[in-house]
Amino acid sequence: MEAVPQLFFDAAWRRDWAVDFREIVFGPRIGAGGFGEVYKCKYEEKMVAVKTLQKVEDDDPNALMGEFMVEMKLMSKLRHSNIAQFKGACIHVPNLAIILEFMPGGSLYRAIHRRRRNVLGAFPLLKIVWIAFGVAKGMAFLHGQYPVVIHRDVKSPNILLGTNVREVKITDFGLSRLRVNSYINTARGTPEWMAPELLRQDAFNEKSDVFSFGVILWELVICEKPWRDEHPRRILYKVGNRGLKLPTPAPEQCGPELRQMLVQCFADDPSRRPQFRNIAARIEDMCKQFDT
């Protein structure tokens, strides 16, 4: 087998995290991403989620391999209650895989649209704020690293749920980057959740993640897919060029505090968007109001 270049994985990393692909017992496929598939598996007698890299023969295999290796190395360093826990990785071609903790609630995207299909209406406000709190805490942790970790693909499919609303985890760090300078120039992501500066391919920083978080808040309140089934080019034109935004929910749909936060996250000027540590603190206050 051909190994991923040792430049990326030194002996200490391999000792701590490298997993023999043959030790994984594969179960059903539970998801698919931009460059791989996710399976429910068993490893060391525990249920795990295994993300495999399936498309190394695509047009730009080096880019896919690079994203996969970035995700492996980054996730092995991140430890937080709102970040999906990294369990190990298979680093030999063609069996590249990332092993993560298994979250039985699936993705937030599926939960939202399962609710919509069953005509259950919006989530209760308490559930909205607790899920938002978990995401905000995880993002505050990422943005609090040095260098800052910019996720670049914050969206409901990348938010995982456990057995209750307080178990919320951020996953999928394949597009993440470390911000060494003030801004980054390489834009990637999913158009429905992307900030206007990303869609225009302008320079950006961690505040682009805040805009994407605003889209998640909007989804939680409205229970709709952002921009429905608009073509990505139409989203680029509307959001990136014309500055259009998703319709702001009415105060009675989410309360004035959450509505104000959503509006602030959607600010055209990234510097006017709040920081995640402030977002988390404000949402924590909302949670306390519900608990009293």
Q: How many whole angstroms separate alpha carbon 252 and alpha carbon 229?
A: 27
Give the span between the Cα atoms of 180 and 261, in whole angstroms.
Answer: 28
Q: Is 10 among the residues known to form the active site?
A: no
Query: What is the distance between the alpha carbons of residues 215 and 198, in angstroms, rounded to a whole number?
Result: 14
Query: In the chain, what is the greatest distance between 2 CA atoms, to the nearest angstrom?
Result: 59
Alpha carbon distance 273, 262 (integer Å): 10
State the Cα–Cα distance between residues 270 and 284, nearest whole angstrom.
23
Q: What are phi and psi of 93, to 5 degrees?
A: -65, 140
Q: How far apart are CA 270 and CA 268, in angstroms?
A: 6
Q: How many CA atoms lie within 13 A of 47 on its CB side?
A: 8
**What's the DSSP call for residue 145?**
S
Q: What are phi and psi of 35, to 5 degrees?
A: -140, 20
Tell me if 220 sits within 8 A of 168, measured CB to CB. Answer: no
Kindly name the residue from 20, 153, 268, 269 that is annotated as catalytic: 153
| Helix, coil or strand: residue 265 | helix
Give the whole-angstrom CA distance, residue 103 versus residue 114: 17
CB 200 within 8 A of CB 189: no
Q: Is 51 annotated as a binding residue?
A: yes
Start-to-end CA span in the chain (Å): 59
Sequence ranges of the binding site for ATP: 51
Q: Mind telling me the catalytic residues?
A: 153
Sequence ranges of the binding site: 51
